[in-house]
Structure 1
């Protein structure tokens, strides 16, 4: 049994950077990653902005050491997972009980879409290899095996809370003495299926998104991957560098209100945050910063805001949504934002909520609009709330 779970490695690739250092520089400099669609062959080009990773599949494959014919979801995953593992610098990893817990929601849908373009035009054409391994679990296996992890691999797909739940699950595996090290996080690539689906729900903003703004109109889809390396207290003592922080709290709840909408009262969000605080043994006054789920949709921000008001009123900590930088990376978002939360603790910074203009009329607080470096960041709460009411909050704490 491990009394604590520590974060010893970080990896990320998003629309604002191809590694953790580049992402952090963009966060500090207020550089968002949204723009016109360039990678997808879609009718929505020049109409709907997205936040694309600025590398081709060939470039991603070269970075990650995989074949370029694989799904972009797996290619993104490998880049970030390998960075996290290298960053952790764990000696004798093959002698430790190591697991890979990875989340995604789209699987290899990008390759399936390529297949059906050819197949529907001529049933004798199309590469079946682009279809048979497109499901979510294959994305995990395609990355775990080259990393040398074959005994414990798990895939989690719980919509937008997926990779937060991967971190949650990995921590529990360590806490219960089942594993010593877990590379946990998630990945998702843009696909026409996803873009069309969210457009059908009428929750995409045709401009750059404005989370928690009174005049918000929707989200911007993004892509990317994020991973953290979780280690037990026993492994932490053997490292050549001090861990970044510890994962002190985590909780998942489900209000089961609607397939795609959060309950107006933010019940699931409230229970997730409340449970994470209890797990961490903290009070609301201990939280230095909330990394909001903050997608920019009217329903989501209202529900999350209502839950924050209920739990934290009258003393609200600084908060912001980093989706104003990266867009909504879906299955990757919880882990990408976990990486950003750890960086906030490491550098004692609070990120601005880009493009915020008008406070929501029903809320007594507003997100931060300027980069803050004048604060001591001891505990960060990171929220990830998904379709179906699957809500998870993580709390990262300074050592």
Structure 2
């Protein structure tokens, strides 16, 4: 697996921040002059620094793609995949993104109002531009697809990759997501009035909303019979996707979608609620999400296991969120550790649930990672210790 986020440009860097409780949410410093008061989880590297590290000179390669390639290179290196491996028809690439090339809106506008001779930025605009570029750059030979189901996008990319393996359409599935901070996202979420003017306080009674973030993560899934002695980081043991069918941008107060997604994931994994040792919660810090997720956990678990939102470290990375948070869940399994829900002080009514507030070590066998998107698209993934 490979990660880049506001708390680090590698898996090791991210884990160090999670263990120490160091958040990457800061003032955005010039993202948008009218929104400099809004904190955000920004990756430390600029576009030029990313391009220099990645050896890219093409001006049309958008920031989402740069973040994606950075994380994907890490995953490919750790999995020891060769160019021959990647070029096989059995190597699939599933990329999740809600922004794609929209970060280049200003350039696209200028491009589209010229004489039409140069469509450089127009060609890099679509959601699929990230997957298209990665496929060409690494010469990936199998199924290539893009998923955009809002905040559950990369969770669904993991499910899609799993099912490609299960049904014999791939021997390996490179799955993940990437999104960058952009004018489009800041303006959009600000219009919904759900951005907090302070670091987010997920599940807290005094929460004020979410912080946007950016980043990317990729995981490489392979079938057990194809491992050939490779070390296993974790097993994908269960997954569930359900639709709340309640509202375009809100979940039902009872958390029907989250409840069904978590229940289905348990059923697929053949596990009981008490088998889950830790939940990496969706936990955006908005009033609606945290209440709905809390009610769903109470319905399913009775007394929920340890849970926390690592969005208090990274911000909400949209289409990249579950890939990043599933990678964090794998780190929890590997090292036997639970990461804190930062900035929490007061349990919220009516659920009165208290997330993990300090890092600690414990034995973990199964971890659930939740992601619930706009349109009610709710997904849970369970990873189990190797």
TM over 0.5: yes
Alpha-carbon distance between aligned partners in 1 of 2:241 and 2:221, rounded to the nearest angstrom: 19
| Alignment match of 2:305 (pick from 300, 309, 317) | 317
8 Å Cα contact 2:94/2:161 also seen in 1: yes
Secondary structure at 2:138's aligned position in 1? coil
Alpha-carbon distance between aligned partners in 2 of 1:377 and 1:392, rounded to the nearest angstrom: 21
Superposition deviation, residue 39 in structure 1 = 5.5
Match of 2:101 in 1: 108
| Alignment match of 1:17 (pick from 8, 32, 38) | 8
Task: Note closer, same or farther for the CA distance 1:209–1:68 as it changes in structure 2 (3 Å cut).
Answer: farther
Match of 1:7 in 2: none
Superposition deviation, residue 362 in structure 1 = 1.2
Where does structure 1 lack aligned partners over 5 or more consecutive residues?
A: 1-9
Q: 1:257-336 counterparts in 2 under 5 A?
A: 257-313=246-302, 315-336=303-324
Alpha-carbon distance between aligned partners in 2 of 1:255 and 1:213, rounded to the nearest angstrom: 23
Superposition deviation, residue 365 in structure 1 = 2.5
| Alignment match of 1:87 (pick from 78, 82, 89) | 78
Superposition deviation, residue 148 in structure 1 = 2.1
How many residue pairs get aligned? The number is: 383
Task: Note closer, same or farther for the CA distance 1:49–1:137 as it changes in structure 2 (3 Å cut).
Answer: same
8 Å Cα contact 1:255/1:268 also seen in 2: yes
Match of 2:241 in 1: 252
Match status 1:52 vs 2:52: no
8 Å Cα contact 2:64/2:101 also seen in 1: yes
| Alignment match of 1:62 (pick from 52, 61, 65) | 52
Match of 1:6 in 2: none
Where does structure 2 lack aligned partners over 5 or more consecutive residues?
A: none
Alpha-carbon distance between aligned partners in 1 of 2:89 and 2:125, rounded to the nearest angstrom: 30
Q: 1:3-42 counterparts in 2 under 5 A?
A: 10-38=1-29, 40-42=31-33
8 Å Cα contact 2:51/2:57 also seen in 1: yes
TM score, norm. by length of structure 1: 0.92
Alpha-carbon distance between aligned partners in 1 of 2:346 and 2:310, rounded to the nearest angstrom: 17
Alpha-carbon distance between aligned partners in 2 of 1:222 and 1:74, rounded to the nearest angstrom: 15
Task: Note closer, same or farther for the CA distance 1:96–1:318 as it changes in structure 2 (3 Å cut).
Answer: same
TM score, norm. by length of structure 2: 0.95
Superposition deviation, residue 112 in structure 1 = 2.1
Superposition deviation, residue 179 in structure 1 = 0.5
Task: Note closer, same or farther for the CA distance 1:68–1:22 as it changes in structure 2 (3 Å cut).
Answer: farther
Task: Note closer, same or farther for the CA distance 1:55–1:348 as it changes in structure 2 (3 Å cut).
Answer: same
8 Å Cα contact 1:289/1:377 also seen in 2: yes
Alpha-carbon distance between aligned partners in 1 of 2:53 and 2:329, rounded to the nearest angstrom: 25
Superposition deviation, residue 268 in structure 1 = 0.3
Match of 2:211 in 1: 220
Q: 1:125-274 counterparts in 2 under 5 A?
A: 128-236=119-227, 238-239=228-229, 241-274=230-263
Alpha-carbon distance between aligned partners in 2 of 1:309 and 1:41, rounded to the nearest angstrom: 39
Alpha-carbon distance between aligned partners in 1 of 2:252 and 2:181, rounded to the nearest angstrom: 27
Superposition deviation, residue 35 in structure 1 = 1.0
8 Å Cα contact 2:111/2:122 also seen in 1: no
8 Å Cα contact 1:344/1:350 also seen in 2: yes
Higher mean Cα deviation, 291-300 or 66-75? Answer: 66-75
Alpha-carbon distance between aligned partners in 2 of 1:96 and 1:133, rounded to the nearest angstrom: 25
RMSD: 1.7
Alpha-carbon distance between aligned partners in 1 of 2:327 and 2:25, rounded to the nearest angstrom: 20
Match of 1:391 in 2: 378
Higher mean Cα deviation, 325-334 or 124-133? Answer: 124-133
Superposition deviation, residue 113 in structure 1 = 2.5
8 Å Cα contact 1:161/1:390 also seen in 2: yes
